[in-house]
Structure 1
């Protein structure tokens, strides 16, 4: 299963099963329950296990996405993290049409290719961190929304950037929080 695809992985430092062991157990449980699981749930488990296995074969960098609604300051925050203006910031909406990666890691290319992120700003060698400025999850442009939703399902960590008005928006809570 996953272990065979990514190589032998030892138990987690605290003695708990590794992520690979847990993914293999999930896949086995789904296989054993194949006759009673709804088809859509079985397909979701298969897709999750495959996606996680693919991710485990890639560089061990942490991918953080700055996600949120229109005009919440995601690109401005990325610029602060970069220490220079790398993301376009404007009063017109939407501004960010596709994800932009701020890369502080060696060898992140295969990971960014897997994520489908073409726009990249390299800060040089570092601690293995990739920060993504995502398009708006509530954009009026369908392709922007779909890109944000796709990447939300692939990254390691989400930072939701919202202002008080957007935080009150039901779509943030219903779809993500």
Structure 2
């Protein structure tokens, strides 16, 4: 026997039917608890901060702020001092600054490593194309050299013509026959056909 299906009372509408998950329709968007951010924008911001942290200007400004902090908390009247002698609040602020600076610098370095990896891959592909082109051109030059080896050169033709001129000067070939035998006046083209 087949399992029993839920029986719907006659006249039931879609609103009164039990809710089933439909696979042919997208699910509604879930509400997110955490805020969303653009990772590229955050990465660019972290790179700008890391670049600023690595400049002399940052060191000068940080030194000026610390000096003002110390002078204020030493020379100001007691009721205006907000961080007395052990300067615990200053230590806390510097630690907080360092705890944010280190991950931002690491994030900027990771992004730079990713860019370097892409550039290295592009350079590797370009080198492979250059090597393939060089090998192709080398094969073509070798084929041209081989082909030129079979072609009559100017020096070879010159030497052949000089040998022929020497033979003509004697009027005889090396085998003793005349170079140009006497031509027959009548019907000389008959044998050529």
TM-score (structure 2 length as normaliser) = 0.17
Task: Looking at secondary structure, tell me which structure has more strand per residue.
Answer: 1
- Where relative contact order (Cα < 8 A, 6+ residues apart) is larger, the structure is 1
Task: Looking at secondary structure, tell me which structure has more helix per residue.
Answer: 2
Over alpha carbons, which structure has the higher Rg? Answer: 2
